[in-house]
Amino acid sequence: MKTANALCRAATVAAAVLATSSAAHALDKITVGKSVATSEIFATLEVGEEAGIWKEEGLELKILAFRGDAQMQQALASSTIDFGLGSGPSMGFMAKGVPAIGVASFADAPLNMAVLVAPNVGINKIDDLKGKKIGVTTAGSLTFWLIKELSRQEGWTGADAVQPVPMGAMRTRLAAMKKGDIQGTVQTTVSGYELQDQGVAKVFLVFGDMVKDFHTHIMFATNKIVKDNPDVVRRYLRGWFKTVARQKKDKALTVRVWAKVMQVKPEVVARVYDKDMAMMSDDGHFNPKAIETIRRSLVELKIMDKEPDPKLMYTDKFVPVKF
């Protein structure tokens, strides 16, 4: 009888240990959205998967890609995604009522964004852009903001201002450029150099030379996950910045994964690697000057009627990230 009781107790303990072990190894599932598919920096998500960093943080990611900031913000509003990778200017959506908040800045001055123009449209100097139509993703997006900011800095107004044309995905803009409906598009430099090598377009202007105090990319989280699962937010951000640190040490891994995700030649990614690493934040902190640039520009560019309250745009309770 004693032996039977001992065996029963042993079985109970073993079951408890197995249950505890299973719970310890269960991964929290989160959905992360990219505002566009064609950004090599956003492929940091896939580098984290390849390196096993998300699993180290107890997370399993489902990754979605959208056709611009506006569509991604709709996904945040509907809780289709938990986190979003978007632009600095799209923090304006928070002030307009999207139930989400910026939780980290992960890229500063836009060293990897460029104006591409069709090869034979006669655009050879900056003044040749006056009045031209340039394709962008969506209204209020980073690409939209950059074109508006270009005209503002050059003092072009009215008919002289460059016209941003929201057209969604890159393939749509390239088709419109080929037909002559637009004269150029805003893209990442890695896509630009790939298209330039193919003779489809040429890299005309890189915005990093024009915009300084600025947050190019912001990490957004829904208000729900910030309130209900702050630990998941912390682990997600820790995983992201661990991956950034790995990327800065391991060029071979970064180039290989980014090239695969972007479907471009590795040598093209290698060409922009140093500039991309230079713009990526190590800890997600927000720069007050960059926030002020974005707040002011949202009014100057008539994206908003008044400067939004920064408390509606972002929170610094999760940054700087330490690991």
Q: Is residue 15 part of a domain?
A: no
Same domain membership, residue 100 and residue 123? no
pLDDT at 297: 84
Q: Is residue 279 part of a domain?
A: yes
Please report how the helices 266-279 and 189-197 are oriented relative to each other, as an axis angle in degrees rounded to 10.
160
Tokens of 143: 């690409």
CB 256 within 8 A of CB 40: no
Q: From CA 221, how far away is CA 105, in angstroms rounded? A: 12
Q: Which of these three, 158, 180, 209, is where a domain ends? A: 209
pLDDT at 235: 98
DSSP bridge pairs for 187 = 114
DSSP bridge pairs for 28 = 59
Q: Is residue 8 part of a domain?
A: no
CB 276 within 8 A of CB 112: yes
Q: Which of these three, 209, 227, 259, is where a domain ends? A: 209
134: phi then psi, degrees, rounded to nearest 5: -120, 125
CB 145 within 8 A of CB 164: no
Q: From CA 127, how far away is CA 180, in angstroms rounded? A: 19
Q: From CA 127, how far away is CA 156, in angstroms rounded? A: 10
Same domain membership, residue 220 and residue 90? yes
Q: Which of these three, 209, 241, 275, is where a domain ends? A: 209
pLDDT in tens, the chain (323 residues): 444 454 445 444 444 433 433 345 699 999 999 999 989 999 999 999 999 999 999 999 999 999 889 899 999 999 999 999 999 999 999 999 999 999 999 999 877 889 999 988 899 999 999 999 999 998 888 899 999 999 999 999 999 999 999 998 889 999 999 999 999 999 999 999 999 999 999 999 998 878 888 999 999 999 999 999 999 999 999 999 999 999 999 999 999 999 999 999 999 999 999 999 999 999 999 999 999 999 998 888 778 899 999 999 999 999 999 98
Same domain membership, residue 219 and residue 72? yes
Q: Is residue 181 part of a domain?
A: yes
- Among the listed residues 119, 43, 25, 17, the one whose alpha carbon sits nearest the alpha carbon of residue 273: 43
Determine how β-strand 184-188 pairs with β-strand 133-136: parallel
Q: Is the peptide bond before 320 cis (omega within 30 degrees of 0)?
A: yes
pTM over 0.85: no
Could you tell me what percentage of the chain is helix, strand and coil, using 3-state DSSP and rounding each to the nearest 5? 50, 20, 30
- Residue span of the structural domain in which 104 resides: 27-108+214-313
Structure-derived torsion over alpha carbons of residues 189, 192, 196, 201, reported in degrees to the nearest 10: -140
Q: Where does residue 168 rank: exposed (0-12), middle (13-18), buried (19+ CB within 10 A)?
A: middle
Number of domains in the chain: 2
Q: Is residue 321 part of a domain?
A: no
Same domain membership, residue 92 and residue 236? yes
Tokens of 12: 């109970």
